[in-house]
Structure 1
């Protein structure tokens, strides 16, 4: 079994959580979306809502030694971690460390498999099948880690872009406010070229009048 192979191939697969959720809301049953190790989304009747992340759980994980953190990762893989710990692992702060442990764990397992390559007795075959299943679980967690980190990066980039846009708009308002007469002359000329007249009643111009007054009074623009 390949680590990317779906363990539930008979279930309908969706490309995104939104697509799976859209199907769930029109179902007669209460269904919840979850991401599979194959990378697709399925629906299940199990409750997949993530527990609330508590600050003390985050602080506890952050203060752990590598050995203690590894043990938490193992417990999560086995389903024996507390809901608080499982939720804390799935935060942008913990995801990189969680991902690093999973990567080392997967590399170790791949090395162990390589050592027994070509050994085909029954016990080894059973052990190999078990290892591949465990690797599938780890790969599924790696997909989660990548998704968390990608979302965090997108949010950071979006926040920065919003700040840059606001700064640029504020600078433009200040510039126009400080040179309103010249701005009005340019706008009047451009409107005239298009057969239009300057309209003092427009909302934009009223706002620029305010910028002009602020510049004249020495007050900062909002």
Structure 2
């Protein structure tokens, strides 16, 4: 199964997959590890709203596979060797999907962080604009008080230690 971009999923399929009972969901995930589900269903498993449940189901399947491997470990009968090889391949497929869930979670986190920074910057710009407008309204409403405060601030700024000769020494 090729990695599926998050934009490839159908919202109706995502809702159908999310509504599945746990046992059916695990069976679906198991079928997906063997690439026997249709592409829209495979894509739905990778949707952000299903990603955690998919990861949990994969971990459950991995535990079952590892239990099976433990039972046939060290047994040299032909059937046990065949079973061990089959389970080892299955373990590899599940681990591959688990790595994909980690990648998708990381990408989703990066999107959330980026969107959060963009929203913070947008909010900061809006606050600055609103603040500038409020200050201008106060200046327009109280021009005399504004001039007095401005003159006072200029006097304080000119008499700051950085401007004095004592500071330079």
Same fold (TM over 0.5): yes
Partner of 2:12: 56
Q: Distance in 1 between matches of 2:26 and 2:47?
A: 17
Q: Does residue 158 of structure 2 align to residue 164 of structure 1? A: no
Partner of 2:26: 70
Q: For 1:169-208, what aligned pairs fall within 5 Å after superposition?
A: 169-177=125-133, 178=135
Q: Does residue 63 of structure 2 align to residue 107 of structure 1? A: yes
Q: Quick check: 1:76–1:86 contact (8 Å CA) kept in 2? A: yes
CA separation of 1:105/1:88 partners in 2, compared to 1, >3 Å: closer, same or farther?
same
Moved more, 102-111 or 117-126: 117-126
Q: Distance in 2 between matches of 1:175 and 1:50?
A: 39
- Shift in Å at residue 49 of structure 1? 7.9
Q: Of the candidates 108, 117, 123, which is equivalent to residue 79 of structure 2?
A: 123
Helix, strand or coil at the partner of 2:8: coil
Q: Does residue 60 of structure 2 align to residue 91 of structure 1? A: no
Q: Distance in 2 between matches of 1:67 and 1:158?
A: 36
Unaligned 5+ runs, structure 2: 140-145, 158-169
Partner of 1:152: 108
Q: Quick check: 1:90–1:148 contact (8 Å CA) kept in 2? A: yes
- Shift in Å at residue 174 of structure 1? 3.7
The structure with more radius of gyration: 2
Residues 59-89 of structure 1 show CA distances to partners (whole Å, capped at 9, x for unaligned) of: 1111110111122112212222111101111
CA separation of 1:79/1:109 partners in 2, compared to 1, >3 Å: closer, same or farther?
same
Q: Distance in 1 between matches of 2:57 and 2:5?
A: 24
Q: Distance in 2 between matches of 1:51 and 1:126?
A: 40
Q: Over the residues paired in the alignment, what is the CA RMSD in angstroms?
A: 2.9
Unaligned 5+ runs, structure 1: 1-33, 36-47, 190-222
Normalised to the residue count of structure 1, the TM-score between the two structures is: 0.55
CA separation of 1:85/1:169 partners in 2, compared to 1, >3 Å: closer, same or farther?
same
Helix, strand or coil at the partner of 2:92: helix
Q: Which has the higher contact order (CA 8 A, sep 6+)?
A: 2
Q: Quick check: 2:17–2:25 contact (8 Å CA) kept in 1? A: yes
- Shift in Å at residue 50 of structure 1? 8.4
Moved more, 133-142 or 121-130: 121-130
Partner of 1:8: none
Q: Distance in 2 between matches of 1:170 and 1:78?
A: 51
Q: Does residue 104 of structure 2 align to residue 143 of structure 1? A: no
Q: Quick check: 1:77–1:137 contact (8 Å CA) kept in 2? A: yes
Q: Quick check: 1:73–1:98 contact (8 Å CA) kept in 2? A: yes
Helix, strand or coil at the partner of 1:126: helix
Q: Distance in 2 between matches of 1:132 and 1:170?
A: 57
